Structure 1
Amino acid sequence: MFPVSFPRFAVLSWVAVLPLGLSGCGGGDSPADAGDTATPSVVLTDSYRVEYLAAETAAMEGKSTFLVRVTDAATGSVAQSGLSISLMPLMHMTEMTHSSPLEGCSESTTAGTYRCTLFYLMPSSMNGVAMGDWELKLTIAGATDEIAIFYPEVMMAMGDTTRARLKGVTDTLTDMGGNSVSRDYYLFRSELSGVPGSYSFELFVAAKESMMSFPALTSTTVLNAGDMNSELTVVSVLVEVSSDASHWLAATEEGGGYWRATGLDGLSAGQTGELYVRLSVNGEQKTTNGLSPDGVNGYATFIVTPASATM
């Protein structure tokens, strides 16, 4: 087995999909000037010109939202509205390939411009060491599906915590080697807002089914459906948030994997603090190490810095 370099171009359709060699395994429509780029910036398919716009939030480990503008391939001037676009993120590493949790793509208030949200599990490089290549595969549905692929550079999270992981105790799944392993649950910071004494913390929670599947966790999710060794029918989910790991507030389910806790105190504007998150599924409390809760391993820790007060 040996590493493969990925080509930095993609002009794709159903008749010309570039093969990839593997060695293993709400806001306005103007993107922020985050210095975020992808290669290439424009892809032509048979019918469309697909342009990757700078991300609304810089492509970074954790939650990331970017825009794509779709126009006609012939002139590049006619916005293509009402399209159904699906997103498939892939991280190509030397020894494995894996996907990442996502919300998906929907058309914004600007015709022909689509907003896509996903949750990167890892950066492209860490402390100067390349980890792999992220690939974003956009499929435009039609009588014949058309595909555009972009390769963003995903930055390492710095400062505040963008994601955390908890594990099942008796909640397990079967991995690719046929071994029974703890199921991973990923908690992503989505938003921290409010004022001192009454902050609101929104999280996106996803569960692992396999290296290629991380569905959003809802109170009606069925994980690994049809797999006799790994299937889990979710009947209850409890997400709790605390600023002192002693007094807990239950988060409200907002839908699509999003959960929000309100009325949080113990934080100060402009000052770094900590929020703790507990997760229970079907009555089982998840832990940092997959062992029974012992008071220390029973929650994830998020370092957070509330925005400074503005005059």
Structure 2
Amino acid sequence: MSSRVTSADGAGVHVREYLPRALSRDVARERAPKVVLAHANGFHGGVFEPLARALCDRGYACYALDFRGHGASDAVSVDALTWGALADDCAAVVTALGLHRCAAFGHSCGGHALLMCEARRPGTFRAIYAFEPIFVVSSSDVPTLDVSPGSPLMASTAYMVKSASRRRARFANAAEALNAYKSKPPMSAWSEDALDAYVNKGGFVPDDDGGVRLACSTETEIGIYRAGDKETTAFGELKSIACPVAIARGRSTTPDGASPIYSAVIAPAIAAAVRDGRLIEFPDNGHLAPMEIPRDVARSALDFFDAARGDDVIRARSKL
């Protein structure tokens, strides 16, 4: 099932609903614990389908949004692609669907959006699990890191814009796109069902030439990366987050060990910045682990969510 909600500035946001198969729709919507899923830049909520199914098998109901400019959500101008607007998209989903005090899972800029949503609207979430959320950190925030322009650590962020600018935007059909992604990294490392969901359940839309094109345009993806560079005060807001937070990360360098990976290197600092934070490691995987090993990541998130709920888990399940 899917629905559509309206964000603070009027942008339409598409939401995918995944419910426990063992329960009727009405029972699941009323009694199952809820999780909001927020994806990374350039993707859409459907990439979480394997992860969502694992959460559903444990009795959770999942709501995966497509951020503005992604999937089936509204395309917007570059000026409307601020990371604060992404946090507004998350808040709109929670409010419109009555999910207040639910759990939340976010990846990359999706993790940032969830954390900022909670920082600016305390009490929105019961617990947040964020896989390598992206934040701008300064030398005063983390004195041990060299975040000066041109440093090896900062080179990895510039690479993302360069990579997006070279991304192939059109294919003859979805099958051609799927075969292309299967043949080369980083998507060749994705689980088969996550990759299929990306291509066939929101990653592409028909174009005017009879083929398919990316639902998230290159301009949108690059616009979001560049908007993220302007979020220089967000890291300082993390201290206001009181709910339990898990910050997960993959390996901190490229597979050859030659270059640091920014999002993984800063993860310990983010976990330390919130009041109740913990760090979770996936040393055999990279930044895209939620799509590479979705069920392993889901198990980690489930353990965290269940622990954060404590006795509420027992009471909730007794009602199902």
Q: TM-score, normalised by structure 1?
A: 0.26
| Structure 1 or 2: more helix by fraction | 2
- The structure that has the greater radius of gyration is 1
TM-score, scaled relative to structure 2: 0.25
Q: Which has the higher contact order (CA 8 A, sep 6+)?
A: 2
Structure in which a larger fraction of residues adopt strand: 1
